């Protein structure tokens, strides 16, 4: 495929996301490791682009590593309790200094005008202020956390007003108490609190590459996050992000993304491509969607019988369905099966068939087909399957739009050839995962 075609295809693929993100509120936390890395400039361009695409942005910068460096330069030890820094009176001035330094660095980069770049000439209006009201964390397990604080309130009306005027709001991890004290707040927690208070559409964590990043799934539900929190092997800093992700989703933030800035443009890939780049935490895919049980056979039959009768789906007997039920996922609403899919593996050939995809007519075009396909693909991928195929008479274009390609010469596995009816003239679509 030529570069021009790639470009056109990419742009068309991004268009629905550009439309979907318009006027949405994203809260983005950027770790200071990323800010001081050579990939930060790329991220600055991408933030400018998001602002110009009409996305409302609240950005928080981390400062953990800068604080460590300032303290150690001044002969002070970094002390933590339960992975939270203890900010005593001696260290507070250096903590504030470190935070302000990161903030200034961030502000200066977002004020550059971005010469000689695709965003050349673009100006971003960055606004900060006393939007975060803090309070002391107090004494935990007998340890006085001193000037380490937690969020008491967020001045969300003021933030929303600034966002509606297209300003980008920049927040540091400092909170001010009503008595005029300064508190050092954990940035991840502050980001979560801001996203919840603003009822943001997305909470995004951008951080340096984690050693275990490749083992993180592309999509996680909150129950999967909870399971990871129970694992001793999950690193403490990842646990803190997952904890914030769970809180945010429970408070109606729709999606949380964890992205490493290893690849230039990782944020754009995550936001504007179907496959994304990082890890997305959401319950949207999973609401009502679950693995089928033998009790669902009747419900699935009611759903697919009209489609079988009209020749859209191949006829499946009750017995066959009962045998294959463990490969099915269904979406249930008010006790009725409104959508189903099967991912039937052929382990000998490292293949799986995506079969029996059906969405009830009343619920079409709401993304259920797409959600089920992702679940089925994830299921195949966790079984170690590397290639998927689907046979369809009427929905080949739907599959093409989901990254499949037509493959008339594809050799069906022997087990599938037994039931194959060439008279149906089905198209064969395949996808490598």
Ligand X SMILES: CC(C)(COP(=O)(O)OP(=O)(O)OC[C@H]1O[C@@H](n2cnc3c(N)ncnc32)[C@H](O)[C@@H]1OP(=O)(O)O)[C@@H](O)C(=O)NCCC(=O)NCCS
The residues that touch ligand X, with contacts defined as CB under 6 A, are 307, 312-313, 355, 357-359, 364-370, 390, 392, 394-395, 397-398
Q: What stretch of H or E contains 429?
A: strand 427-432
Distance from the first to the final alpha carbon of the chain: 20
Query: CB-wise, 29 or 373, nearer to ligand X?
Result: 373
Distance of CA 259 to the CA centre of its chain: 8
**CB 365, min distance to ligand X, A:** 5
**CB 185, min distance to ligand X, A:** 40
Query: CB-wise, 132 or 340, nearer to ligand X?
Result: 340
Query: CB-wise, 75 or 408, nearer to ligand X?
Result: 408
Nearest-CB residue for ligand X: 369
Query: CB-wise, 110 or 428, nearer to ligand X?
Result: 428
Question: What is the C-alpha to C-alpha distance for residues 284 and 281, in angstroms, rounded to an integer?
Answer: 9
**CB 354, min distance to ligand X, A:** 7
DSSP 415: H
Question: What is the C-alpha to C-alpha distance for residues 417 and 412, in angstroms, rounded to an integer?
Answer: 6
Rounded (5°) CA angle 348-330-430: 40
- Complete edge-to-edge strand list for the sheet that includes strand 351-359: 289-291, 328-333, 336-346, 351-359, 387-392, 427-432, 405-406
Measured in degrees and rounded to the nearest 5, phi and psi for residue 353 equal -95, 130
**CB 125, min distance to ligand X, A:** 35
**CB 314, min distance to ligand X, A:** 8
Question: What is the C-alpha to C-alpha distance for residues 412 and 433, in angstroms, rounded to an integer?
Answer: 18
Residue 262: which of 47, 38, 27 has the closest Cα?
Answer: 38
**CB 273, min distance to ligand X, A:** 16
Query: CB-wise, 249 or 339, nearer to ligand X?
Result: 339
Query: CB-wise, 260 or 353, nearer to ligand X?
Result: 353
């Amino acid at each position: 495929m030529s570069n021009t075609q790639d470009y056109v295809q990419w742009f068309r693929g991004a268009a629905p996301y550009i439309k979907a993100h318009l006027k949405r509120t994203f809260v983005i936390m950027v770790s200071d490791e990323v800010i001081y890395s050579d990939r930060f400039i790329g991220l600055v361009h991408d933030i400018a682009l998001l602002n110009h695409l009409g996305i409302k942005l609240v950005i928080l910068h981390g400062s953990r590593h800068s604080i460590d460096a300032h303290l150690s330069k001044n002969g002070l030890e970094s002390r933590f309790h339960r992975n939270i820094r203890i900010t005593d009176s001696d260290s507070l001035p250096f903590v504030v200094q470190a935070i302000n330094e990161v903030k200034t660095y961030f502000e200066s980069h977002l004020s550059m005008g971005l010469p000689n770049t695709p965003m050349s000439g673009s100006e971003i209006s960055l606004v900060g202020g006393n939007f975060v009201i803090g309070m002391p964390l107090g004494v935990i397990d007998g340890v006085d956390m001193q000037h380490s604080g937690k969020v008491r309130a967020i001045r969300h009306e003021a933030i929303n007003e600034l966002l509606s005027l297209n300003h980008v709001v920049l927040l540091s991890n400092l909170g001010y108490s009503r008595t005029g004290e300064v508190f050092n707040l954990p940035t991840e927690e502050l980001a979560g609190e801001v996203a919840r208070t603003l009822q943001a559409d997305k909470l995004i964590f951008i951080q340096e590459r984690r050693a275990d990043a490749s083992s993180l799934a592309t999509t996680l539900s909150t129950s999967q996050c909870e399971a990871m929190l129970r694992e001793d092997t999950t690193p403490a800093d990842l646990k803190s992000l997952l904890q914030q992700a769970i809180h945010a989703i429970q408070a109606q933030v729709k999606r949380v993304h964890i992205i490493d800035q290893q690849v230039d443009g990782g944020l754009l890939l995550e936001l504007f491509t179907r496959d994304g780049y990082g890890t997305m935490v959401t319950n949207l895919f999973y609401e009502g969607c679950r693995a089928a049980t033998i009790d669902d056979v009747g419900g699935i039959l009611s759903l697919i019988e009209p489609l079988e009768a009209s020749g859209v789906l191949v006829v499946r007997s009750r017995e066959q369905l009962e045998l294959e039920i463990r490969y099915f996922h269904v979406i249930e609403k008010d006790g009725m099966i409104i959508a189903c899919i099967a991912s039937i593996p052929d382990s000998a050939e490292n293949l799986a068939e995506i079969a029996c995809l059906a969405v009830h007519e009343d619920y079409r075009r709401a993304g259920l087909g797409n959600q089920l396909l992702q679940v089925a693909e994830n299921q195949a991928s966790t079984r170690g399957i590397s290639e998927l195929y689907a046979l369809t008479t009427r929905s080949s274009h739907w599959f093409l739009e989901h990254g499949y390609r037509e493959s008339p010469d594809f050799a069906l596995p022997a087990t599938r050839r037994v039931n194959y009816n060439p008279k149906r003239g089905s198209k064969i679509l395949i996808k490598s995962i």
